[in-house]
Amino acid sequence: MKPMGPIPADFRSKGGALLIGGRKASALVRRAGETPLFVYDFAMAERRIARFRAAFPSIDLHYALKANPFATLVHRIAPLVDGIDVASIGEARAAIDAGMAGFCVSFAGPGKRDAELEFAIHHGLTVNLESEGEAERALAIGARIGVRPRLAVRVNPDFELRGSGMRMGGGAKPFGVDADRVPALVRRIAAEGAEFRGFHIFAGSQSLDAEAIVEAQAATVTLASRLAEEAGVAPPRLNLGGGFGIPYFAGDASLDIERIGAALEAQYHERPAALADTRFNLELGRWLVGEAGVYLTRVVDRKESGGQVFLIVDGGLHHQLAASGNFGTVVRRNYPIAVADRFGAEPEEVVNVCGCLCTPLDRLGDQVSLPRTEVGDLIAIFLAGAYGASASPSAFLGHGPAMEMLV
C-alpha cells in the first residue's frame, strides 16, 4: 500500500455519497450525461476569496487565469477579484469576455508575439515586459497604432522562493529582466511616454512554507523599493506573484495564509517611501481553485494481474496529466482518490487505478487503499481544479476531452 494525499476538508457526504456543492456526485454525472467529468465547487473558491480578503485587507487579489480557464468559472470569479493575470492572447480574450476591464488585466509570458502585444495594447492591458527587446517592440506597436501602452517590468529577482515547486526567479531565467538592468529599462519606458505601471516580481510557485513566502515577499518589497529609487520613477503597482501551494501528497499540510497576510500587511503599512503610492497585489490561481475541483471517472473494468487488482477507469492522463505524475514532478505520488458512493468508508483492498489509455504512464492511483469497488462505480480524484483539464493532452489517443461543470 502506498499513501495518497489529503482529501480537502471541505468535502462532505450524505449516506455515504460524496457531495460536491451540496449535490451527490452521481447526480452530477447524470446531469452531465456522461463521464469523465470535472466538477468545480464555486462555493469553495468563494470561501478562499473571502479568506484572502480577511487576511490581506490592504492587498489586491488577482486571479491567475492559467490555473483554470473554464469560462463559466472565470465569469463567476471576475467580479470577485481586482484583476486577472493572463499569459496569452487566448487568456486575454477569456478575461475580457468575462467582463474584466482591460485596465485590470495584466499580461505576462516570455514569448509574446507582435500580434499579442498589439491586442494587449489596443485593449489597454498592462503588459509585463519580459525583456528590453519586448519593450522596444511594445513601444513601436503603441506608436504605430496610436495607443499609449501600459507597461510594467517583470523582474527576475536576485533571490528565489525557498522550497517552491517551481522556481520562477533567481539565477539565469527565461522570465523577466535581471534586476540590475531594470532601472535603465524603467527610465527608457518613461522617457518614451508609455504609462509605467510598476513591477511584477514572482519568485516561485506551489510553496507550502509560509515562512519562505514571508521571506520572499519581504525581499520582493525591498527589491521593488530599490529599483524604484534607482529608476527615479514611482511604480503604481507591485505584483508580488503568487506561490501559495495546496497539499497534494501524503505529508503535505495546508498553507498558513493568515501568517503570510499578517506579515505582508505589516510590510505594506511600513513600506519604504519609494513605494508610498504603490498598490500591492498577489496573483493566485492554484490556491483559489485547485481544491475546488474533482475529476469523476467511472470504472470500466476490474481485473487481476500478477496478484494485484486493477481498476480501469474511463478517464486518464489525457484529462488529468498531473495526477499521473507526468507533469512537473520527478517522483510519481498519489493524489487523493475516493469511491464517490462509498465516501469515508473503510478501505478494504489495495488497488491500482489506471486510466483507459494504452500506455503504462496512465496510472492515476498506485497501490492505493479503497473500499471494494466494482465496474460502474464512480471514482473521484481530488485536486483537479487547477492545471487539470487545460493542462492535459486531451487529444492523446483519440478519446476526446472531458466535460466540465461548475456547481
Q: Least distance in Å: CB of 289 to a copy of itself? A: 16
Q: Can you tell me which residue has the cell 486510466?
A: 355
Q: Which is nearer to a copy of itself, 126 or 267 (CB)?
A: 126
CA distances from 105 to 98, 225, 241 (A): 11, 23, 14
Closer CB to a copy of itself, residue 168 or residue 378?
168
> What minimum distance in Å lies between the beta carbon of 315 and a copy of itself?
9
By beta-carbon proximity to a copy of itself, the closer residue of 68 and 267 is: 68
Measured between alpha carbons, how far is 247 from 241 in angstroms, rounded to an integer?
19
Report how far residue 151's alpha carbon sits from residue 189's, in angstroms, rounded to the nearest whole number. Answer: 8
Measured from the CB atom, the residue of 217 and 324 that comes closer to a copy of itself is 324
**Alpha-carbon span 391 to 347, nearest angstrom:** 31
Q: How far is the CB of 329 from a copy of itself (least distance, A)?
A: 9
Report, in Å, the least distance between residue 403 CB and a copy of itself. 14
Report whether 324 contacts 363 (CB < 8 A): yes
Distance CA 327, CA 334 (A): 13
Q: How are beta strands 60-64 and 363-370 bridged, if at all? A: unpaired
Tell me whether residue 15 or residue 360 sits nearer to a copy of itself (CB atom): 360
Specify the amino acid at residue 285. Answer: G
Smallest gap, in angstroms, from Cβ of residue 327 to a copy of itself? 6
Task: Identify which of residues 6 and 365 has a Cβ nearer to a copy of itself in the complex.
Answer: 365
CB 386 within 8 A of CB 285: yes
Helix (H) or strand (E) holding 286: helix 286-289
Q: Which is nearer to a copy of itself, 114 or 277 (CB)?
A: 114
Q: Using an 8 Å Cβ cutoff, are 355 and 316 in contact?
A: yes
What is the length of the chain? 407
Dihedral class, residue 103 (left if φ above 0, else alpha if ψ from -120 to 50, else beta): alpha
Rounded distance, CA 293 to CA 94, Å?
Answer: 20
* Shortest Cβ 271–a copy of itself spacing (Å): 27
CB 249 → a copy of itself: shortest distance, Å?
Answer: 18
Considering beta carbons, is residue 167 or 372 the nearer one to a copy of itself?
167
In angstroms, what is the minimal distance from the CB of 251 to a copy of itself? 22
